Amino acid sequence: MQTRFFTINDHPQGTPARELFDLHEQALPDLAEGEVRIRNRWLSVDPYMRGRMSGVTTYIEPFELNAPLEGAAIGEVIESRDANFPVGTKVRHMGGWRDIAQLPAAELETLPTFEVPEQAYLGVLGMPGMTAWTGLNLIAEMQEDNNVLVSGAAGAVGSLAVQLAKAKGGTVVGIAGSQEKLDWLEAHGVKAVSYQGKDAAQLTEALNAACPEGFDVYYENVGGTCLEAALNTLRVGARIAVCGMIARYNDDTPSAGPGNLAMILIRRARMQGFIVFDHWDHYPQFLEEVGPQVENGRIDYEETIEEGLERTPDAFLKLFEGANRGKMLVRL
């Protein structure tokens, strides 16, 4: 059986170009004992993958050049030499960026059984959802009635973070770019602030207008101007969960950081970076809390879907243009 998969042919400088990605086709070896063959139905593309392309170890091993790329995917078992994963089982695994994956059974998870579309386990009930929940609860230790600010608030992670925060009762403000994203936020009870055309002082002013009492929690997905403005609006004892800083992922040389970092001292604030994989032992707790809310529609989510394996690099590149609302997915 043939598999088709993407590789990268270089370590990109700056924003990756479409030419970075090559599509290959090759024959799969016979299944070994304990291996499983999966026909992928959904592929996930995520901002953190940019870090794995840089050729240096950050918090995760870098992608190898000219080897199949990896990422979360959902598919159905089509051939199996492991009794726990019979043919027909729906599974999640990291053998994405390809159509047919062949993996040891130890690297597969059977999908949970909430009444949700299967691709939800790549988004709202998958890594991005778990990331939102972890940042708010385990890192920022959000309390009832806390005022919460979220940057990248209409993205895959941010859009769940604002809803989880909203459910706990305080004022929730989301920073986003396009009018469409701002409208989505407002429709979900979130005060929406646009970063577009604003420097840090102007963004600070807009955040102060949206929440004059200031923020107890800042959920950071973006960095840059958003971070600088957020630092100006912290309450004493505030916690910043640093989930990502997408504004800078494609920078060749580091840009200067915020000039007001002393606000960390003045507001006795705490800023903490985290990687969701370090906290995966809490995934069952997350599912138990959030799964029913997705099932019954209390938590809403958006998807932006590209069709066909060939479009996977395009879907990935769109993440850096802010072109997605909610989770960016590829359907095969």
Residues that bind a copy of itself (CB under 8 A): 58-59, 223, 227, 236, 242-245, 248, 253-262, 264-275, 278
* 318/306 Cα distance (integer angstroms): 10
Closest CA to 45 of 245, 327, 307, 321: 327
- Complex with a copy of itself: residue 113 or 253, whichever CB lies closer: 253
8-state DSSP, 20: G
- Complex with a copy of itself: residue 255 or 296, whichever CB lies closer: 255
- Complex with a copy of itself: residue 83 or 256, whichever CB lies closer: 256
- Complex with a copy of itself: residue 197 or 254, whichever CB lies closer: 254
- Complex with a copy of itself: residue 192 or 227, whichever CB lies closer: 227
Of the chain, the end-to-end C-alpha distance in Å amounts to 17
Distance of alpha carbon 326 from the chain centroid: 9
* 174/181 Cα distance (integer angstroms): 10
Q: How many CB atoms lie within 10 A of CB 322?
A: 17
> Please, what is the minimum distance in Å from the beta carbon of residue 271 to a copy of itself?
5
> Please, what is the minimum distance in Å from the beta carbon of residue 51 to a copy of itself?
8
> Please, what is the minimum distance in Å from the beta carbon of residue 198 to a copy of itself?
18
> Please, what is the minimum distance in Å from the beta carbon of residue 331 to a copy of itself?
30
> Please, what is the minimum distance in Å from the beta carbon of residue 285 to a copy of itself?
20
Q: Is the dihedral of CA 157, 159, 163, 166 positive or negative?
A: positive
Residues facing 215 on adjacent strands: 234
* Torsion angles phi and psi, residue 58, rounded to 5: -105, -105
* 306/199 Cα distance (integer angstroms): 33
> Please, what is the minimum distance in Å from the beta carbon of residue 25 to a copy of itself?
35
- Complex with a copy of itself: residue 72 or 242, whichever CB lies closer: 242
* 184/179 Cα distance (integer angstroms): 9
